[in-house]
Amino acid sequence: MVAILDERKRQVLFAIVHDYIQTAEPVGSRTIARRYELGVSPATIRNEMSDLEDMGYLAQPHTSAGRIPSDKGYRLYVDSIRNIPALTAAEVELIKRHLGSKLRGQEFILEAAARLLSSLTNYTSIVLGPATAAARLHALQIVPLDLSRAVVMVITDGGLVVNEVVELPDSLTHHDLAVLCEMTNRACTGRTLSELRNLDLSTVLGAFNEGISAFESAMDQLIGSLQRKESEHLVLGGATNILNQPDFRDMQKLRNVLKVLEEEALVFKLVTSAAASPASVNIGSENPLEELRECSIITATYSLGGPGIGHISVLGPTRMEYGRVMSLLRFVSQIISEK
């Protein structure tokens, strides 16, 4: 970190990263000298490579194999990407067609985006619906099922509906419920979910029936499940794409990654924490899950009408086409946000 790399070292490093990303094979000095016009001999490059390894930018699978970039090497490479590469006209056209006009409903858009990204990149894509905490309640409805259960439905201004079955205290009558529904509705409509979470129900309902404070627990249930729901708006695309990546020929590595992808809660944590970090790229060991220390994840955000932002990300091996994925993500999230 302290010493900035001189120009030629950078060139060598980037050549190695570039080559390794394409071939997935450790790259040697001769290859660099041949394929990239650096104007120096392999021997010189060897010296530079040796230095770069000492500095921690490269690693060597074994003596007498070529070098591969370390996480630190990738990091420098990614940080140096100033102008992310332009998409081809074909890609732009494809994206526009698939995310085009007449997609109804948030679900469909997100699913389409996930499918699209995974097929374009051959990596796994993860799309997270807009965080609901900032969304405003459009309406809250309580529909009784029978005397002991009711369905509570919340509609946000973004058109998202979440619902939950709640247990009711035995003591409620039908009429109680109707009034209750009316009052709750009036109290909640227009507020954000996070406001709702802090709302003291007794002040709202106190005037009506001070006796049935037990109802509060039912509302607590709903609020709890709203928090849960927040993490559930998750769409995976191309989870099996890692099978195509030579990096995961090893069954043990494969298992690690697939196991994570199977757990919604983990994926959720992964994406949100990746997005929380200032950079939108998390490389290998930078990311919070030990199991994904051979993966990188690139994240972009979008907003879909409402105030909450959503996340859209691509998960692949550290040997990832960073530039291209960044361009794609940027463009796709832009298209989505335009709706």
- Where along the sequence are the contacts to its own copies (CB under 8 A)? 104-106, 138-139, 141, 143, 145, 149, 151, 153, 155, 157, 159, 161, 163-167, 238-240, 243, 249, 251, 254-255, 258-259, 262
Contact 131, 310 (CB under 8 A): yes
Mapping DSSP onto H, E and C, the string for 75-130 reads: HHHHHHCCCCCCCCHHHHHHHHHHCCCCCCCHHHHHHHHHHHHHHHHCCEEEEECC
Q: Is residue 287 at the binding interface for DNA, with CB under 7 A as the rule? A: no
Among 15, 18, 28, 238, binds DNA (CB under 7 A): 28
Select from 63, 173, 198, 252 the one that contacts DNA (CB under 7 A): 63
If one counts every other C-beta atom within 10 angstroms of the C-beta of residue 230, the result is 20
Q: How far is the CB of 297 from DNA (least distance, A)?
A: 28
Q: Tell whether residue 3 is a contact of DNA (CB under 7 A).
A: no
Binding site partner of 82, from its own copies, DNA, none, Cβ cut-off 5-8 A by kind = none
> Closest separation between CB of residue 104 and DNA, Å?
51
CA distance 217 to 97: 48
- The continuous run of DSSP H or E covering 32 comes out as helix 29-35
Please give the Cα distance from 253 to 240 (Å, whole number): 13
Nearer to its own copies, 67 or 253 (CB): 253
Interaction residues for DNA, span 251-270 (CB under 7 A): none
10 Å CB burial of residue 330 (0-12, 13-18, 19+) is: middle
- Name the binder of 104 from its own copies, DNA, none, CB < 5-8 A by kind: its own copies
Query: CA–CA separation, 294 vs 188, rounded Å?
Result: 46
> Of the ranges 64-72, 147-155, 256-264, 312-320, which one interacts with DNA (CB under 7 A)?
64-72
